[in-house]
Chain A
Amino acid sequence: MSDSTVPQESNPPAPSAWGVALESVRCPHCDWRYFAPPDKADIRCPHCFQADLTPLGEAAAQLPYRLPPEQWLPFAVDAATLNLSVETFAGGIPYAPRDLNGDALRARVQPLYLPLWLVDGNVTAEWSAEVGFNYQVVSHRERYADGGGWRTEEIHKDQVRWESRVGRLERHYDNVVAPALEDHPALERALGTYPLTNVRPYAANALSDALVRLPDRAPSAAWPDATPNFQAAAAEECRQAAQSDHIQKFRWSPKYTQTNWTLLLLPVYASYYLDDESAPQPVLINGLTGKITGARRASMQRAQRAALITAIVAVVLFALGLLLGILGIAAPPLLVFGILLAIVAFGGGAVGALLPIVRASRFNRKQEVEGR
């Protein structure tokens, strides 16, 4: 671990410091890098599922950080919640790909941990802010009606009195978070935030057979994202120090010393389904809340097939109608049936053949818009 006034890059030791045997691997397709148990070092990448993981070899020494984490969040989503998430994800899709079903998703679930930086540090600063104190004022609401006179209702309204405060601060802050992955904001948007109430100190048996994604942001790159969190923590403490109910316009001039960087591991389940082109479509599930994310797409192939079947049936019926029409020359009552059948087959066939394609296209377009 590094102790310094300015955040420093670590000098990574071997992954054996994690207390379990781990191998440094990477996906040649998506370039996600992992520590994986030796028996899972050559599995498919649990992110893109496009290629098998390959050992990093000597390149592992160039990783920005390989120290064991300080804390981890154990998987907490129960089987029922997981099932519900998966079934909800797979359900409600018109002409869903055949592979997009609960059983397939569950069978491919791979536990995975995502890293998050934890920064400890001493801070000295001068600060200024506006602090707010709650109070109540007496007000009135009145009603008038001819013949009934005035009816007065006394009400209490909540108000906030803002006062300025300045001060000095010399505090130590533990476990201020900062993203350790470039795509952390996108992942957080997709998976939701992780409540950090149940974090536990890291133990060697924590990982079990899960993979751990390695940070792709060095502490120095993550530092600009850590400072707002230091500021938020300091603002909250200054609010408490001033014994106020609110704080706003918090400004400070911090000096950081003794910063110490560690990791927190966030649990996530990875799975996938195969789309029309048999390409894996990744699905991620928050290991705490069960929130699921991934591309939900209708199968255009299935929609086209349904359209084709409908069209064939319609053509057959239309032809039958024509045939009845011809027979109607000899037996006039058949002429009426023939015409009716041809009209129904033509109208129903046109609509019925278009409907699957329209439904699938609209669903996919809607998913694309929501996914943006």
Chain B
Amino acid sequence: MTEFPPAGFVPTPSAIPGIEVYMPAPVEATAQPEVAEFKCPQCQATTAYSVSDGGLRCSHCGYYEPPPKSIVGKGAEEFEFTVATMEVAAARGWGEARKEIACQNCSARTTLPAGELTHTCPFCGSNRVVQQDAPQDNLRPRFLIPFQITDAVCTQYVRAWLGSSWMTPKSLRDLASMARFSAIYVPFWTLDALTEADWKAEVGHQKTESYRDSKGNRHTRTVTVWRWESGHAQRVFDDLLVSGTTRLSNVLLKRLKDYRTAQLTPYDPKYLAGLMAQAYDVPLQAAWAAGREEMRAQTRETCRGQASTSQIRNFSMSLNFQDESWRYILAPLYVSTYKYEDATYQVMVNGQTGTVAGQRPVDWPKVWLAIAAMVAPGVLLGLLGLLLLVGVPPAGPIVLIVALVALVAGGAFAVGTYGKAKEMGDV
């Protein structure tokens, strides 16, 4: 060793005299003020994160500060479910306490609602990011996905989305009056795990056999033969996203989970300046329970998929989770409402990918007409078949069979259409 101690090592207590111990210097947690304020160094006006520029921008003098940190993507540090972390997370989450903050610009005092990470002073418009103490450092948001589409682009996406379904009123796209989009960082937990499962089930195999009836006539029939099968399945889950908030529609958030974690960036309050951000209110344990439920359901489907047929009974499996880890991240989301014929509808846009989810009014007469059209062929053919049974007996049964098939197919389409229409209004 030439240089001692090597660069980046600091002394640490030694339990034995005569032995010096040095450890790698802990990563400097940049001393963050509890409340970070953003002011232009040139004109002292308020700066905010500009999605289009990808950095801090002063709206007054045009000063620009580029984004502070580079993308780490899937290499972003993950944390294990250590006993210590779980105990702390169970004891108290982060962002529970309400904060009263004083604006350093105009001295106005504002009470910040629980779970809000950012604040814009309603009196002077200055932007602040609250960096509350977390009981454990890794329970702070350590990574985020920056906004990548602007609210103007969002409006275009939503307009296109409003006109994309035949079930909505024709005038929706043109007459909907859009409210302004609010950019908000929402909390997500990313979960990783490897699942290994052993399964066992009775699997049914169809077999055609012939038999003779009591009069000695030969017939064939299909019987199910059940055989035991077993197998082993393994699944890797990488960055399964579980929402960390209960304050936004979970139904809509689930449709927007196509976030690409390859764009993860180390957390910096500058990304939040002038935008809204929420801390998690779904604790780690609850998120992990939800994540596990999804993982085991998918693993179960993988196991069932290994069976030689889809006819399965007495299915059982044992499943082990391994290499479980998690991250707490913030993901970009645009939230807005629009009005149509005096009703207000909620809409959200993934701030990274532009995926849109929301409520849409359903043109029910149109939907019912479509459902009627789907069922009509079967009904009409059925009636025709009945008439033919009387008039042209040999053709009647054939038409009736065709009618039955058409009715079943039409009914299935009708149910699907109805479900889709109902889903449009769900939040």
The interface bits of chain B over 13-45 (1 if a CB of A lies within 8 angstroms of the residue's CB, else 0) are: 111101111111000000000000000000000
Stretch from B52-60, B116-124, B232-240, B312-320 contacting the other chain: B312-320
If over half of B's interface residues share one DSSP class (helix, strand or loop), that class is named, otherwise mixed; here it is strand
**CB-contact partner of A142 in B1, B81, B318, under 8 A:** B318
Q: Is B222 in the interface zone, CB < 8 Å from A?
A: no
Most A CB within 10 A of own CB, among B19, B292, B296: B19
Segment touching B, from A88-96, A164-172, A302-310, A360-368: A164-172
Residues of the A chain whose Cβ atoms lie less than 8 Å from the Cβ of B19: 167-171, 237-238, 241
Query: For residue A166, which residues in chain B have a CB less than 8 angstroms away from its CB?
Result: 1, 4-6, 9, 21-22
Q: Which residues 272-317 of B have a CB within 8 angstroms of A?
A: 292, 296, 300, 313-317
A167: contacting residue among B20, B315, B317, CB under 8 A: B20
Enumerate B191-224 residues with CB–CB distance to A below 8 Å.
Answer: none
**Candidates A136, A144, A152; contact of B317 at CB < 8 Å:** A144
Does A331 count as interface, using CB distance less than 8 angstroms?
no
In contact, B18 and A170 (Cβ under 8 angstroms)? yes
Q: Does B268 contact A (CB under 8 A)?
A: no
A127-157: which residues lie under 8 A (CB-CB) from chain B?
Answer: 128, 135-146, 150, 152, 156
**Cα distance, A11 to B249, chains bound together (Å):** 90
Task: Tell me if B164 is interfacial: C-beta within 8 Å of chain A.
Answer: no
Interface footprint category on B? 35 or more
Contact with A along B69-113 (1 / 0, CB 8 A): 000000000001111101000000000000000000000000000
Q: Which of A128, A156, A241 contacts B14 (CB 8 A)?
A: A241
Q: Chain B contacts of A143 at CB under 8 A?
A: 316-319
- Residue A242 contacts which of B14, B84, B300, B313 (CB distance < 8 angstroms)? B14
Total A-B Cβ pairs within 8 A: 105
Q: What is the chain A residue whose CB lies nearest that of B325?
A: A137
Residues of A within 8 A of B182 (CB): none
Q: With a CB–CB cut-off of 8 A, which chain B residues contact A128?
A: 1
Q: Does the CB pair B21–A126 fall under 8 Å?
A: no
Query: What is the minimal beta-carbon distance from B233 to any residue of chain A, in angstroms?
Result: 12
Task: Please give me the residue from chain B that is nearest to A148 by CB atom.
Answer: B316
B177 within 8 A of A: no
Offer 19 A-B interface pairs, CB within 8 angstroms, sorted by A: A137-B83, A138-B81, A138-B83, A139-B320, A142-B296, A142-B320, A144-B316, A144-B319, A146-B313, A159-B80, A164-B24, A165-B22, A167-B14, A167-B20, A169-B18, A171-B18, A238-B21, A240-B15, A243-B13
Give me the interface of A with B, judged by CB distance under 8 Å: 126, 128, 135-146, 150, 152, 156, 159, 163-171, 237-238, 240-243, 253
Can you add 7 more A-B contacts, CB < 8 Å, to A137-B80, A142-B320? A135-B83, A241-B14, A241-B21, A242-B12, A242-B23, A243-B13, A253-B1
Pick the 6 closest A-B CB pairs, nearest first: A241-B19, A241-B16, A145-B316, A241-B14, A142-B319, A168-B20
